[in-house]
A and B are shown apart, each in its own frame.
Chain A
Amino acid sequence: MSRVGVTRAAIVIGAIGVIEVCCRTGVINHLTMIPPSAMFVAAWHLLGMGAIQRDLLFTVTNTAAAIVIAVIAGFVAGVILNAVPRLRRIVDPLLAAYYAVPTFIFYPLLVAMLGLNRAPLIAIGAVLGVVAMTVNTLAGLDRIPRVYLRTAAAMRMSRIATALLVQLPAATPHLVTGVKLAVSYSIVGTIAGEFILSVAGLGRAMSLAYNNLDNATMYGLMLILIVTVTLINLGIYEWERAVHRRWGLR
């Protein structure tokens, strides 16, 4: 491993080690935080429990649904805005300012509208992810080199053939980036919703454990959430890198 890699590993392991020692020696109160090793044990134990497995399934299925909706809706919105420049001019500043708005403030509203079930969770996740996909779809369509379109015209290709065989592949790197961001944001939205107000899911379980002063469960669940989310994000990040490399962008 390179010097950089070794240093990085040392820092991460060192940080965890310091926290472990602080917890064990009482520098960090055990009511505040349990040692990382205990977190692992708790997480392992929890994963075997049926109730937690159901919560995990609930969270994962809601997140997946939110992502699918965000990606499809975001792509369609991007294509439409690209095709109707007049509409795009109006909507552009809103898109740019979108992520400055704490969109989760709409969650209580969504609960009031859709009821206290999985629908508002999926909705808030989708709402958070959709604009990232739209913005990147637009960027991808904008950045198609003009010469590709002229080449398609010179080959007498129809509009549909040009869209499917030239524009779509040319925009793919940006579309993949959009999916990566939509996934990230949708995850945050669904889990945040579970914390705020929910009937089930890992977020709710964590919130309950906190209220019951059950630190072991709470930290165990936190670890499960963080590891799951990090793995998903890492996987998508690698996919994005591979696509960018293949398209010659990296």
Chain B
Amino acid sequence: MDVRSQAPPIDAPVALDVSGVSHTFVAQGSGAQVCALDGIDLRLAPGEFFSVIGPSGCGKSTLLEIVAGLTRPTEGRVVFDGREVLGEVPDGVGMVFQEDASFPWLSVWDNVAFGLRRRGADAAEIKRRVDYALRFVGLADFARHHPRQLSGGMRQRVCIARTLVLEPRLILLDEPFGALDQQTRLVMGEELLRLWRETGATVLLITHGLDEAAMLSDRIGVMSARPGRFIATLATGWPRERDSQVVNEPHFGALTGEMWTHLRAESMRSIGIPP
């Protein structure tokens, strides 16, 4: 399946434009050259929800770091909001990681306010936005608590609130629910959809979960085993106002089935089992 045929039309506005990105690095320890990504092309329309799914080690996280500006690709370029991303994180980008990034020495409220305070906003504005973000993720009653008193899912909601408060235009998520159990993941998926609709941001999500990708996305990019390249792109066609109940739709099963058809061989290859 050709990626480009599923991309937004050439003359439509593009929020994120990744062209010809390849990345090779030197592995620590062995000193061998590792090619993580091979010729990635990706164009996201503003406000689009795009998931990348692929086997372990295929380079998905590397792609996210390159898009964020945390890593410079050995080849290719990334353009966000019309400006090229060159080795530093551009303004308007929010990131949520798999590991718990909440700071244990700050209260929930201070955690959420952290990024906003660095911007130098005034106290009243900060209070307004932080209170709102906490209500949005349902943690208003826990504002004075500390992360150590919260569950894993709640801590991720703190991280989401911390991102929401900055009103990002591009939200990058690296398997944000990987550390949570399956049912919590589905519920958190709905939270993510609410966040997406609330901010109107473009979302790029990295995930392992077939149902997560199928449920949340407008489009899904299926990546091969290392070196990672897109082997298929699927469009889900869900309406914007969706929630986890799309799992009941017949199209849902078709999507996960199609993903698995592409991924089965790649996953086996990445583990070392000949397909």
A residues within 8 Å of B by Cβ? 145-148, 150-151, 153-157, 161, 165-166, 169-170, 172, 246-248
Contact = CB atoms under 8 A, between A and B. Distances in A.
Interface in B95-119: 95, 97, 99-101, 103-105, 114-115, 118
B175 to A, nearest CB: 12
Given A166-B103, A247-B105, 5 more contacts: A145-B99, A145-B101, A146-B99, A155-B166, A248-B147
Contacts of B101: 145, 147-148, 150-151
A248 B91 contact: no
A151 B99 CA distance: 11
Majority SS of interface residues in chain A? helix
Contacts of A161: 118
9 contacts: A148-B101, A154-B70, A154-B95, A165-B118, A246-B104, A246-B148, A247-B148, A248-B104, A248-B146
A154 B94 contact: yes
B53 interface: no
B158 to A, nearest CB: 12
B89 interface: yes
B103 A154 contact: no
A82 B163 CA distance: 30
B126 to A, nearest CB: 14
A148 B105 contact: no
Nearest to B94: A154
Contacts of A172: 105
B93 interface: yes
Given A166-B103, A172-B105, A151 B97 contact: yes
B103 A170 contact: yes
A248 B148 contact: yes
Most chain B Cβ neighbours within 10 Å, of A148, A155, A156, A246 = A155
Interface of B: 68, 70, 88-89, 91, 93-95, 97, 99-101, 103-105, 114-115, 118, 146-148, 166
A242 to B, nearest CB: 12
Contacts of B118: 155, 157, 161, 165
Contacts of A156: 88-89, 91
B8 to A, nearest CB: 26
A114 to B, nearest CB: 40
A154 B68 contact: yes
Majority SS of interface residues in chain B? loop
Q: Which 8 A-B pairs have the closest CB atoms?
A: A248-B148, A154-B95, A147-B99, A248-B104, A151-B101, A155-B115, A147-B101, A169-B105
Contacts of B100: 147
Contacts of B147: 248
A155 B146 CA distance: 21
Contact of B89 (A154, A165, A166, A247): A154
Contacts of A154: 68, 70, 89, 93-95
Contact of B95 (A146, A148, A150, A165): A150
Nearest to A154: B95
Given A147-B101, A154-B68, A157-B118, A246 B94 contact: no
A153 B70 contact: yes
Most chain B Cβ neighbours within 10 Å, of A151, A154, A170, A246 = A154
Contacts of B115: 155
Contacts of B94: 154
B89 A153 contact: yes
Nearest to B90: A156
Nearest to A248: B148
Nearest to A151: B101
Contacts of B105: 169-170, 172, 246-247
Contacts of B99: 145-147
Contacts of A153: 70, 89
Nearest to B166: A155
A150 B69 CA distance: 11
